[in-house]
Structure 1
């Protein structure tokens, strides 16, 4: 089976993506070691890879054994609710390190393996990567930057497929934290489910080889 490396697999969306791809791909689950990650790997017959996107110096060594890779899915992310005046430099630094610099470092480390397979890189972006989202200053900036990196990768590596996925609000703990910051009432029934977004990811990954799905925008139906 083709291979797929997923970052942030232990979270709600990450585990849903792993479930969606398990029937068609051999999974490499890249994240910080945890019982939840081990349980997911055991259930899906996947391999875990100890990955810290904030520690970019360690990334090449971690993924060195991978010499061919069909799919790389950038799902891991950091978010600090807050408007510009409420944010701190440390929050901006962490957000950029994980959401942008970590994704760049991992892509560069795996680029030879992706080229060997004429592979596919999928970026789980956000609606905030298309339009600024109030109360998410550093997160919005990071997602705009991530979209720019995806577009540059697509232009510079024409043998690869590169997809940016921009979901609206998803029923995850990160969204629950944001709603609490906004002073609203968290109602997951009004949000996209992780499983719904994962189906779009799987659809793009499993698209026929003559198709290049470049961008997907998903919003909750109301």
Structure 2
């Protein structure tokens, strides 16, 4: 009896943080997936993974805000591995700008939406025919910002709310595809470092102090924790979990 075919996952933002942690877990046993990673950079740690898994990891340096790069990632997955069984929508960017700031232009907001939201629509448009065939899974890496309103996070807040809405719409339109939006918590990633270095003057003081205190007290969530949940969902979740928006620790109960 032949071994089951490993799943093929397209993952965005796999060069660092949650995405890189997901990539490691997907490639290693027990999942041992085929993975197409789409990210702007190709840092040494990702290069080492490519050397370790040359047959199962395809790295595409590209920009999720460009439709042609998203199309290439999906087409490469199908050409190289024969299917698309799951998506991890992890790429994201943030700009700390109050609505009335001079630098908070419409173009600035559009740039955040291009990465955080319109890229999702782009990848889905290219993937849905394959996800229907595989009855696949889509995990959107969302944020508590989707239901909050932290000052100076306006474009980020709005894109994560739009992400959750897209997840619900996808679940309604594609009942055979599992669609989940995951709130990972306050994770020790580049975004938190950026917040500490750039956002003190534009965030409301209590909010800024809250995040800085989490860092000082070593209370930030390690990227490996939400990554473990995301990768489990890609293997074990089904449409009964669709659509959900949960903090990642609660999802341990579900899976």
Counterpart pick for 2:50 among 41, 54, 57: 41
| Maintained 8 Å contact 1:15/1:40 | no
The yes-or-no answer on 1:134 pairing with 2:158 is no
Q: Where does 1:62-101 land on structure 2 (aligned, <5 Å)? A: 62-65=73-76, 66=78, 68-86=83-101, 87-101=104-118
Given the alignment of the two structures, is residue 196 of structure 1 paired with residue 225 of structure 2, yes or no?
yes
The more displaced of 12-21 and 149-158 is: 12-21
Q: Is the counterpart of residue 59 in structure 1 residue 70 in structure 2?
A: yes
Counterpart check, 1:50 vs 2:80:
no
Compared CA separation, residues 188 and 195, structure 1 to 2 (3 A): farther
- Structure 1: runs of 5 or more not aligned: none
The 10-residue stretch of structure 1 (97-106 or 28-37) with the greater mean CA deviation from structure 2: 28-37
State the alpha-carbon separation in 1 of the partners of residues 107 and 231 from structure 2: 35
How has the CA–CA distance of structure 1 residues 216 and 84 changed in structure 2, closer, same or farther, with 3 Å as cutoff? same
Change (3 A) 1:16 1:202: same
Offset of residue 2 of structure 1: 0.9
1:18 and 2:23 are equivalent in the alignment:
yes
- Superposed, 1:151-170 pairs within 5 Å as 151-170=168-187
In the alignment, the residues of structure 1 paired with residue 189 and residue 75 of structure 2 have an alpha-carbon distance, to the nearest angstrom, of: 32
The aligned counterpart of 1:205 is 234
Report which stretch shifted further, 175-184 or 66-75.
Answer: 175-184
**Distance of 1:21 and 1:201 partners within structure 2:** 10
> Aligned pair in 2 of structure 1 residues 51, 188: CA closer, same or farther (>3 Å)?
farther
* 1:58 CA drift (Å): 4.3
1:32 lines up with 2:37 in the alignment: no
**Partner Cα separation in structure 2 for residue 152 and residue 176 of structure 1:** 33
The 8 Å contact of residues 19 and 44 in structure 1, kept in 2 or not, is answered as no
Q: CA RMSD in A?
A: 2.1
Equivalent position SS for 2:181: strand
Gapped runs of 5+ residues in structure 2?
A: 1-5, 201-207, 250-255
CA deviations over 1:146-205 (Å, ceiling 9, x no partner) = 111111011000010001001221101111111331365443711111011111112222
* Cα distance change on mapping 1:160 and 1:81 into 2, 3 Å: same
Distance in 2 of aligned mates of 1:91 and 1:40 = 34
CA contact (8 A) 1:171 1:188 kept: no
Give the conservation status (yes or no) of the 8 Å contact 1:68–1:112.
no
State the partner residue of 1:216.
246
Shift of 1:52: 1.4
Match 2:124 to one of 99, 103, 107: 107
1:162 alignment partner, SS class: strand
